[in-house]
């Protein structure tokens, strides 16, 4: 560790320079010397040093003047002054100007060695701490939040703005646009980044299960509750809770959620103890909450509690310029995961990707690229590798790019690909069975 630390000794007395040189070389440091402030500036213009030992009084540039010049060039350099005439005013001035310490002549080698070792150790700890924080941020950074279009740049600005606060955020956008990725980006850029972000898909759970999921339960609270269990709000203490599909929760759960937001307190199911938790709420929905308000299906007071700061994520069809960037990103991602070596996407395949309306948005594009790498044979993704049945009957009609037309063709393709198995088709489309049945009725599909 010491062998990597570098020291520059600056003193106009030859005997002092050479004595210090030999002392610190024996200690394992890499040492250079300079006989004046002017020479020192020439040296540090080429190389940086961990630490400088500088005589206070020298002809030309003095030690204090050199201190000011060095701090402009390298603020992290440790600067220790050597003086034969120590006084309180000069010592205070040196420390105020950025010196780490000072030592008086005649120099005690052991004392100086201890000061230098301690100073360099502190510097290394600070550097390691900074590197550790940077690496932690990089590890948890969401990797799919990609885009260079104007709308995405605006979203990045909104993320940076709201991350600095504890404000409740509502993220809006169609299914598959990346709402959870935006929530994670807000969390990892906030002061809560070193605590967890807990995700709850409210639409995937029945009311009774959602209550237990959010608030936890005591042993014996209901049939099957064999153990006490913490809820998501309790697990999110210090961090963030992300409530996805918030528009799907029942009226009873809306009342419970409003109380938790206002008090930051709750009780486990079957319990009678108030539990406190310090959490931040980020909610998301792909439903028009305003319509639910008009229909009386969503509480107005809860709506205003959640809708403090809104981020809208546009569907992929409204930011087509990002499709090539995303496509190549996913290609490289699955290259690494599958040990593949695809390098390009053919012009015909890219034209199709650019003109398709992507009802499943970025998630659907990711799945399409993954499938292409699974079935593709060469190093280029071709049109036939994409998970769409491109025939004269179902090729995208560029004269009819309405969402309904694209959705109709895509749902029919998925149904036929899965032999009209409703469960598998709904899973592939990433919608529930009820929604798929409604789509089948809407478009008048019949199994042939």
Read off the pLDDT of residues 389-443 as tens digits, 9 standing for 90 and up.
444 344 455 555 577 777 888 888 888 777 788 888 888 888 888 788 888 878 7
Q: What angle do CA 345, 349, 355 make, to 5 degrees?
A: 125
The answer to whether 412 and 393 are in contact (CB under 8 A) is no
172 vs 58, 180, 313, CA distance in Å? 67, 10, 6
What is the pLDDT, as a whole number, of residue 433?
81
Structural contact between residues 145 and 185, judged by C-beta atoms closer than 8 angstroms: yes
pLDDT in tens, 34-65: 999 999 999 988 888 999 999 988 899 988 89
Q: Locate 130 and state its tokens.
A: 């900074």
- Ordered domains of the chain (ranges, CATH): 2-137 (3.40.50.2300), 150-314 (3.40.50.300), 317-443 (1.10.8.60)
Higher pLDDT, 438 or 174: 174
Helix (H) or strand (E) holding 265: strand 265-266
pTM over the 0.85 mark: no
- Burial class of residue 92 (count of CB atoms within 10 Å of its CB; 0-12, 13-18, 19+): exposed
Please enumerate in sequence order all residues whose Cβ is within 8 A of that of 81, keeping only pairs 6 or more positions apart, or say none. Answer: 54, 55, 56, 63, 64, 67, 94, 99, 101, 102, 103
Mean of pLDDT over the chain: 86
Give the pLDDT score at 391.
40
Q: How far apart are CA 70 and CA 77, in angstroms?
A: 8
Q: What is the pLDDT of residue 400?
A: 56
Secondary structure (3-state) at 298: coil
Separation of alpha carbons 115 and 78, rounded Å: 11
Per-residue model confidence as pLDDT tens digits over 107-163: 888 888 889 999 988 888 888 777 766 555 544 445 568 888 999 999 999 998 999
User: What is the tens place of the pLDDT at every residue in 10-22?
Assistant: 999 999 899 999 9
């Amino acid at each position: 560790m010491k062998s990597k630390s570098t020291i520059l000794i600056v003193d106009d007395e030859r005997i002092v320079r050479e004595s210090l040189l030999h002392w610190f070389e024996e200690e394992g440091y890499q040492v250079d010397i300079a006989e004046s402030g002017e020479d020192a500036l020439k040296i540090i213009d080429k190389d940086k040093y961990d630490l400088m030992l500088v005589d206070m009084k020298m002809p030309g540039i003095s030690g204090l003047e050199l201190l000011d010049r060095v701090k402009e060039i390298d603020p992290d350099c440790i600067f220790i002054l050597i003086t034969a005439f120590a006084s309180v005013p000069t010592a205070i001035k040196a420390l105020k100007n950025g010196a780490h310490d000072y030592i008086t002549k005649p120099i005690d080698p052991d004392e100086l060695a201890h000061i230098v070792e301690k100073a360099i150790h502190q510097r290394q700890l600070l550097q390691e701490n900074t590197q550790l924080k940077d690496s932690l941020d990089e590890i948890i950074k969401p990797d799919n939040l990609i885009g260079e279009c104007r709308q995405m740049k605006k979203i990045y600005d909104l993320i940076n703005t709201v991350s600095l606060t504890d404000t409740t955020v509502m993220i809006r956008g169609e299914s598959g646009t990346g709402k959870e990725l935006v929530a994670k980006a807000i969390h990892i850029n906030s002061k809560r980044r070193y605590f967890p972000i807990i995700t709850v898909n409210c639409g995937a759970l029945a009311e009774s299960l959602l209550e237990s999921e959010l608030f936890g339960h005591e042993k014996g609270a209901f049939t099957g509750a064999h153990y006490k269990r913490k809820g998501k709000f309790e697990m999110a203490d210090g961090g963030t809770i992300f409530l996805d599909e918030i528009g799907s929760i029942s009226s009873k759960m809306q009342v419970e959620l409003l109380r938790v937001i206002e008090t930051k307190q709750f009780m486990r199911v079957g319990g009678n103890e108030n539990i406190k938790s310090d959490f931040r709420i980020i909610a998301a929905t792909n439903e028009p909450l305003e319509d639910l308000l008009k229909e009386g299906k969503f509480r107005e007071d809860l709506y205003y509690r959640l809708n403090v700061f809104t981020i809208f994520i546009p569907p992929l069809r409204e930011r087509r310029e990002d499709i090539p960037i995303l496509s190549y990103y996913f290609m490289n991602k699955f290259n690494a995961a599958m040990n593949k070596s695809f390098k390009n996407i053919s012009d015909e395949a890219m034209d199709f990707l650019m003109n398709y309306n992507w009802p499943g948005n970025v998630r659907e594009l990711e799945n399409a690229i993954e499938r292409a790498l699974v079935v593709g044979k060469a190093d280029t993704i071709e049109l036939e590798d994409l998970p769409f049945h491109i025939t004269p009957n179902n090729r995208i009609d560029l004269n009819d790019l309405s969402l309904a037309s694209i959705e109709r063709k895509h749902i029919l393709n998925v149904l036929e690909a899965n032999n009209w198995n409703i469960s598998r088709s709904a899973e592939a489309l990433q919608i529930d069975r009820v929604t798929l049945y409604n789509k089948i009725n809407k478009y008048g599909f019949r199994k042939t």
